Amino acid sequence: MKMRTGALCAAVAAAAAALIVFPAQSSAGAKSGVDYCLNILVPSLYPFMVLSVFVVKSGLAQKAGKHLEKFTQKVFRLPGCAAVCLLMSLVGGYPAGARSVVSLYEDGGISERQARQMLCFCVNAGPSFVITAVGVGFFGSAAAGYTLFASQLIIFIILGIICGAISKKAESRPLQNAGKKIPASEALVISASDAAYSTLNMCCFVILFAALMNVLRVFVKQPAVSAVCSCILEVTGGCADLARAGAPLWAAAFAVGWGGVCVHFQIYASTAGLRINRAEFVLFRFLQGAMSAAVSYILTPLMPGCAETFSNFSGETAGALSSRAPAAAAMIALCAALLFSMPHEKLEVRHGGCYNKRGA
């Protein structure tokens, strides 16, 4: 314990000294983080955060789950209401899926054990980031982005099946407060407020890690070492540095699967009401990164155009990268899935009481 406390004190002292000695670099990094939050993170993730909570609070997840109960229990050993959260984790980006899981747990749709099970594999990058920003923006090819997303999708299914296989038998009985209905207007207000708080937490970590990463680059000059450090700490700058260094696509697949320490803290902030085994969480993030890298290595020769994508990306990625066709298509697909999963009865509404400016 004393050794851990001493190491923590030394790290804090080193960080404080670096911020004092290099104020220009830390300020520039923080400014880049703010720009990233305002131009990319908030516009692209906040709507998904609202939607991820709304589908639970409004009861849509429970209604859709009635039609998907057999599939989710057989494949993932999870109740049907978890299906919408599974879909959200694939199209909404890293924190949206996790927040949807916690919201479903707080609403009583899943148990704490099932929530922890889902958080082992429901932490994924959104298609707009993987395909448009990383694939097209950093590696210069949509084929590279599709390869990365396909790798993530395959590992999502594999890890989900593994987690279901090693867990206990799925709980089929209704949990306390499961399916509790509230008016749609109230659900929207709760969802918007919850998403705003979660988004603010994410932005705080983005700005902090942007400042620290910019200071770290003062000491780390070698591109390969800088890219490794970037990947460990923050996924957007890490993928940009890998592309500049001419790294293979499987390295970016690992970075996307790992997510970065910054994303890990965003998940911790979004799941504060749930007891998470952090060692287990980090282990599954590493497994997701390693397995995604392996699948990407296999898929790359099969995808036309991937072999020629490893060119340096010298320009800045515009904020519009997060709001183009892939994001719109993902939103449309999600809405369509929800609509076609709804029962035929009439739904009644009751009235009553990531930022790194060099890489982003």
What is residue 348's three-state secondary structure?
Answer: coil
* Region 39-65 average pLDDT: 83
Q: Is the dihedral of CA 273, 259, 116, 104 positive or negative?
A: positive
Q: Is the pLDDT reported for residue 146 higher than 50?
A: yes
d(CA 6, CA 12): 10
> Which pLDDT band holds residue 64 (cuts at 50, 70, 90)?
confident
Among 33, 94, 143, CA closest to 285? 94
Amino acid, res. 35: D
Mean pLDDT value across residues 56-64: 83
Closest Cα to residue 96, out of 117, 118, 124, 72?
124
Does 334 have pLDDT greater than 50?
A: no
Q: How confident is the model over 154-203, as pLDDT tens digits?
A: 999 999 999 998 876 545 444 444 545 678 888 899 889 988 888 888 88
Count CB atoms within 10 A of the CB of residue 1: 5
Would the CA dihedral through 335, 106, 171, 126 be positive or negative? positive
What is d(CA 319, CA 304) in angstroms, rounded to the nearest whole number? 27
pLDDT of residue 307: 54
Q: What span, in angstroms and rounded, lies between the C-alpha atoms of 277 and 104?
A: 19
pLDDT tens, residue by residue, 288-305: 999 999 999 999 998 776
| Contacts for 184-191: CB closer than 8 Å, 24+ residues apart | 184/58, 184/349, 185/349, 187/54, 187/57, 187/58, 187/59, 188/50, 188/54, 188/58, 190/53, 190/57, 191/50, 191/51, 191/53, 191/54, 191/57
52 near 99, Cβ under 8 Å?
yes
Q: Which residue in 63, 106, 85 sits closest to 194, CA to CA? A: 106
Is the sign of the CA dihedral 118, 123, 126, 131 positive or negative?
Answer: negative
pLDDT of residue 337: 44
> Does residue 78 have a pLDDT over 70?
yes
Range 194-229 burial, b when 16+ CB lie within 10 A, else e: bbeebbebbbebbbbbbbbbbbbbeeeeeeeebbbb
If you average pLDDT over residues 277-284, what whole number do you get? 93
Q: Give the Cα separation of 203 and 205 in Å (integer).
A: 5
Which helix (H) or strand (E) segment holds residue 334: the answer is: helix 325-341
